[in-house]
């Protein structure tokens, strides 16, 4: 399992770095749309396993509107997309021939999925538009995965006290401390060698914040899996599980880094 994790990371990591550095904006959008498609498929398998393929596809298509609307220069496209999504979901709920409580539950789970996967993921579209946005994206990924890797080994070696035993029995407080430490180390490394214009204190503070909030993203995805009674969200990546298993922390970290970068650039 460990070997598969490292092989997958060593193959995908350099390819992703090169893609982020050199892909044009429209191609980066296609990547986010592809990840949104895969992520929503996994989400529906966890949260709405009995949903018909046609209704699942409607939800996925609506989810794709969010990254596209944020790609547009005018922010009103995003508001229009959100309004369209809400209205269509409400109309679909009215047309269902099931109990009222089940209709409300389904539309609520649809909305949760659209906010969880495409809305959070689409912040990388916004980040890509920033000055030095590609560096901000790489900073986010380096910090998250340095934290995750450190937490894995620290937790295995010294983990004793459970962090959230009901949600994720394998996670420990010691591993959580390892996340923050690894995130700070990754942020400092990236700042020193690739992002010199980022002040040291900003890099340290932001990396620590990513290490903390990323754990909440990890735990939320664990909550989804616990509710579905599965170990992994999927089998997409050998040694890692599904896409959501790999981007759960990234989904929460992306908005934090984007708004921090936005404030820092003012």
Q: If phi over 0 gives left and psi between -120 and 50 gives alpha, with beta otherwise, what is residue 197?
A: alpha
Mean pLDDT of 162-189: 92
The H or E element containing residue 193 is helix 173-194
User: Does the reported pTM lie above 0.85?
Assistant: yes
Chain segment 50-89, per-residue pLDDT in tens: 888 988 999 999 999 999 999 988 878 999 999 999 999 9
Res. 265: pLDDT tops 90: no
Chain segment 212-264, per-residue pLDDT in tens: 999 999 999 999 999 888 887 777 766 567 899 889 999 999 999 999 999 88
Dihedral angle of Cα 111, 112, 114, 118, to the nearest 10 degrees: 160
Looking at residue 136, its pLDDT comes to 97
For residue 52, give the DSSP letter.
-
Distance of alpha carbon 156 from alpha carbon 256, whole angstroms: 28
Distance of alpha carbon 155 from alpha carbon 149, whole angstroms: 10
CB–CB of 67/121 below 8 Å?
Answer: yes
CB–CB of 232/225 below 8 Å?
Answer: yes
Of 108, 145, 157, 165, which Cα lies nearest the Cα of 245? 145
Confidence of residue 94 (pLDDT cuts 50, 70, 90): confident
CA 248-215-184 angle, 5° bins = 110
């Amino acid at each position: 399992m460990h070997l598969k994790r490292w092989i997958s990371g060593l193959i995908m990591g350099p390819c992703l770095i090169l893609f982020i550095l050199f892909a044009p904006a429209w191609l980066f959008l296609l990547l986010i749309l592809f990840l949104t498609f895969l992520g929503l498929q996994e989400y529906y398998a966890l949260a709405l396993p009995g949903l018909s393929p046609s209704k699942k596809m409607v939800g996925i298509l609506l989810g794709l509107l969010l990254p596209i609307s944020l790609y547009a220069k005018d922010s009103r496209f995003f508001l229009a997309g959100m309004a369209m999504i809400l209205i269509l979901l409400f109309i679909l709920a009215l047309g269902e021939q099931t109990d009222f409580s089940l209709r409300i539950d389904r539309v609520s789970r649809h909305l949760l999925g659209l906010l969880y996967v495409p809305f959070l993921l689409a912040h990388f579209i916004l980040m890509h538009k920033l000055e030095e946005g590609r560096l901000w994206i790489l900073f986010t990924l380096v910090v998250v995965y340095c934290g995750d890797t450190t937490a894995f080994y620290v937790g295995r070696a010294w983990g004793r006290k459970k962090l959230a035993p009901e949600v994720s029995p394998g996670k420990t407080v010691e591993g959580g401390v390892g996340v923050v430490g690894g995130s700070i180390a990754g942020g400092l490394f990236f700042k020193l060698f690739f992002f010199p214009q980022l002040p040291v204190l900003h890099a340290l503070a932001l990396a620590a914040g990513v290490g903390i909030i990323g754990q909440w993203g990890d735990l939320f995805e664990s909550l989804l899996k616990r509710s579905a009674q599965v170990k992994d969200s999927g089998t997409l990546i050998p040694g890692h599980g599904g896409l959501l298993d790999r981007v759960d922390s990234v989904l929460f970290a992306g908005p934090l880094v984007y708004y921090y970068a936005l404030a820092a650039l003012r």
